[in-house]
Homo-oligomer: A and B are copies of this chain.
Amino acid sequence: MTITYTLDVSKSRFSSFGKLLLRWRGSLWKSVYRELFFWLAMYSMLSCSYRLLLNDEQKIVFENISEFCYKYTDFIPLTFILGFFVSLVVNRWWDMFNNIGWIDNIALYIAAYIEGVEDDVRMTRRNIIRYLVLVQAMVFRDISPPIRLRFPTMNSMQEAGFLSQTDIAALDSVESPHAKYWLPIHWAMMLISKAREGGHMKNDGMVMDLYNRLREYRIGLNALCCYDWVPVPLVYTQVVFLTVRFYFLLALMGRQYITTERNLNVKSPIDLYFPVVTVIQFLFYMGWMKVAEALLNPFGSDEDDFEVNYLLDRNLQVGMTIVDGAIGSLPDQEKDQFWH
């Protein structure tokens, strides 16, 4: 579900910062608390062992390992790679969102170009909309697990009203080893062509204009498939995810509070028992990485993922209303207040 918090930041103020922090859904807290508790548990175990269980000789080994880890965490330049990686992922994510497909544009054009209130014209208009949303549903089924879950089979989509039994038969009648996302688009184009032949459209330019709208819509959906097919190279993702985890593995030992007389860099001026700063770092780095993790595939079921289910239903409903429900709703024209 998309997490909208725009209202909270409409005014940059002290309180708005508080409201922002205290959210739970889609928040930093929710996304890292499991890892953080796990890390803290490990940290405590090591800390307790060091303080209570180990003898002096073992303590020295422990301290040496700690010193070693402390010294070498510096060699891992997390900030940079996270910065570049998150930049890349955020760009892809937003580009995907821009291609997600709104029906409104096409619907408005269909309503304007294909005129008539007879049943067959209404059917034409409605079915074009239906076919377009059907393509979207077919694409989403292949790239989004929640949609796949909702529509495990074509029949489940039929029950939801996205297509009829006849449509399924027609879909199956065309043989192709490849995905048939283009077929309903083809049908929509055929319907438009027929509407022109039936005299419901004024001229060929409008046919071509409609085709163009369909093309834009299809290109958007195709882009989604491409983003799904060719993700950020696996090596890149692995490098980033691994490095962050390894950093905090080293930090498990390197950030222990060492109470020794020896002159070590790792020695802290005070023993706070709780690794305050490292927890902050954990929130910081893990949070930043979680941003990337959640946005890598925004068609999943993370909290920040796009609400594709909602979008499908909305597109069908709004599309139908535009091409059928709003025909003739134009109010009588009156002079406006500023008329002179």
CB–CB A21/B241 < 8 A: yes
Assembled-state Cα–Cα distance A124/B61 (Å): 81
Task: Pick the interface stretch among A41-49, A51-59, A330-338.
Answer: A330-338
Assembled-state Cα–Cα distance A240/B77 (Å): 17
A-B contact pairs, 30 of them (CB 8 A): A5-B234, A5-B237, A6-B296, A9-B296, A21-B242, A26-B235, A67-B269, A71-B269, A76-B284, A79-B80, A111-B189, A112-B189, A124-B333, A127-B333, A127-B336, A161-B337, A164-B334, A166-B334, A167-B331, A175-B321, A178-B314, A182-B322, A186-B322, A186-B329, A187-B330, A205-B208, A209-B211, A234-B304, A239-B291, A264-B269
Q: Hey, what's the 0/1 contact readout for A262-280 against B, CB within 8 Å counting as 1?
A: 0010001110100001001
Give the size category of A's interface with B: 35 or more
CB–CB B329/A170 < 8 A: yes
CB–CB A10/B238 < 8 A: no
Please list the 3 inter-chain residue pairs (A to B) with the smallest Cβ-Cβ separation, ordered nearest first: A10-B300, A170-B331, A161-B337
Give the residues in chain B near A325, CB-CB below 8 Å: 174-176
